[in-house]
Structure 1
């Protein structure tokens, strides 16, 4: 089956080296940023590195998106206009935002840049997204807590492209407070920012929730890695515009292999869905991912095929 539809495959990169590698193995766009402006960025890109990344990707007819979805306070607003102006001058392809302050700032500087709306858990229904669509957003990044049928309903109701995550860990909690540091200070122990920390859930021996801190506070990540590579058919049949791989806390070789696998699976589905859906091919996907998946990270389909349980 030949079709003009081709979803955008997005990956995250920790530095220029990984950005180039992931673009070369099939990513159509790379999401990068700096923790001063974005939540849970994979690596801190300074403006000069963003410029070099943009130049490289545009030469390959690929795109770069900048994460700016931090929770901004009054003091943060001072630097935002200059930062946005510099991103516009660099000609990045979009900024990923979740704070409405972006819109009056763009009006004040009288400049425009594609805004992708990502308020994390709040993008859960099409009426909310229609409102932001009326404000000029160019893409809706949907909540990870949505079931697939709800995502398809949103896709059918809004006129802007929608993006979902298909692989990697997801955030289940974030606080501006530095909870881990505060705890260790309370018990008068030492704490290193590089120390690997995990939470265990009571009566769940296999639970393993990564915890980390940065200038945006404390982040607790999912126990499992989302993996939808065997379930691409309903996503692609619905015409979902962009699908994202989150490479946080994964090795370079792992991220390269995962992007390669998803590129292959997407392209095969679009040209020969029967071969994609064959037992042999799906089984080979399982085996190939299992061979590189870290032992402490189980694979799961998130909320896509089940109700939300809070």
Structure 2
């Protein structure tokens, strides 16, 4: 049997709730943002006290926490960086993810003992670059997103530094995530945490034969609507290629999405944890469970592809033309308690659901249970048809035992608007 090093599953954690959920659902490590130097200014970034609490929770569950500090620094951005990195270190964080050379040097020289990982923003694409950064004192390199599997294999032959690679989630259209479109169009610097995601907007193409005249060149689809396009990539998914990544020598499999929902974080961490564990347990006889692929589509926002891993992306890797139809699921609740004597589950509602809805419970280690809601009661035990109020606590019959903390999803169904 092959002896393989099991890679780390690294999940995003935009809030403390997501940090705990990611770890509970199988992540070996999470990455978060602090109050400075990160590229997600609108995420639920962590104070130092929250970093400590997050690190304590992670370490108690044999997991790690990394802090992203990967801005492109301008004049004035470096003030206080040394103290910031020392605080990060002293509050239990395992590593910082940095791209700017000045911040790399600051972290290494002014916060000794704090591991430094090179961000994908630094565009590391060859083994000579990895060895350079290793000589500078870094422990891990997050490869540029433009690096292919064959290149990773070649890189691994010439270096023993840890390699991290993105394997799932939204991919920036800019080279290694560096883009000036947001700054140009909205004075929000994507490289300093202010991205407005202009590439995701809908655009049209116009012919302008004379000044002031314009006519769309895109035409209409079969429904008579103009086929707008974006400058946006489809999402990444390498779930079907875990063996290639492990055998190429990737040490950490990174999931994008610090601003995504708990539904997304729990589902994707759960799936990749299961796939990696299954492969590393028996690589000779491994076959991907198709249920794992189906599970990822339940939280997919866009079509998915393998990006640059097996060649240069083409028009099928961009959001262009007709969209693939896919089922849409909503996160409807979380289990608070289960009474095995009465077969009753207590749930905190997160989205409207009710009697007659087909729901799906899921939990860590890929546990699943589907059923149709047959009865429903509010906190006072009064029978109700639906649970429409946010965070409402309800109970209903559930014949299969479920665990506290399990999540519930339901496929979105368009309901008729009632007449007034």
Q: What is the total number of aligned residue pairs between the two structures? A: 284
Between Structure 1 and Structure 2, whose CA radius of gyration is higher?
2
Partner of 1:178: 183
1:1-310 alignment, distance < 5 Å: 1=1, 3=3, 5-34=5-34, 36-40=36-40, 42-106=43-107, 109=110, 111-120=112-121, 122-173=123-174, 174-175=179-180, 178-182=183-187, 198-200=201-203, 205=227, 207-208=229-230, 222-273=232-283, 276-277=286-287, 281=289, 283-294=290-301, 297-307=302-312
CA distance in 2, matches of 1:147, 1:196: 23
| Counterparts of 2:281 and 2:228, CA distance in 1 | 39
RMSD: 2.9
How far residue 206 of structure 1 moved from its aligned partner, in angstroms, is 7.4
Contact 2:108 2:114 (8 Å CA) reproduced: no
Contact 2:2/2:284 (<8 A) preserved: no
- Cα displacement (A) at 1:201: 7.2
* Counterpart secondary structure, 2:201: strand
Structure 2: any 5+ residue segments left out of the alignment? 189-195, 206-217, 219-225, 316-420
The structural deviation recorded for 1:83 is: 0.4
Shift of 1:276: 3.5
The two structures have a TM-score, normalised by structure 2, of 0.61
Q: Is the 8 A contact 2:85 2:111 kept in 1?
A: no
Q: Distance in 2 between matches of 1:171 and 1:35?
A: 22
Could you state the TM-score of these two structures normalised by the residue count of structure 1? 0.82
Which 10-residue stretch deviates more, 237-246 or 173-182?
A: 173-182
The answer to whether the 8 A contact 2:278-2:286 is kept is yes
Q: Report SS of the residue matched to 2:146.
A: coil
Residues 99 and 119 in structure 1, CA contact (< 8 A), matched pair in contact too: no
Higher mean alpha-carbon deviation, 198-207 vs 59-68, is at 198-207
How far, CA to CA, are the matches of 1:30 and 1:70 in structure 2? 19
Unaligned 5+ segments in structure 1 are: 184-192, 210-221
Question: Could you say which structure has the higher helix fraction?
Answer: 1
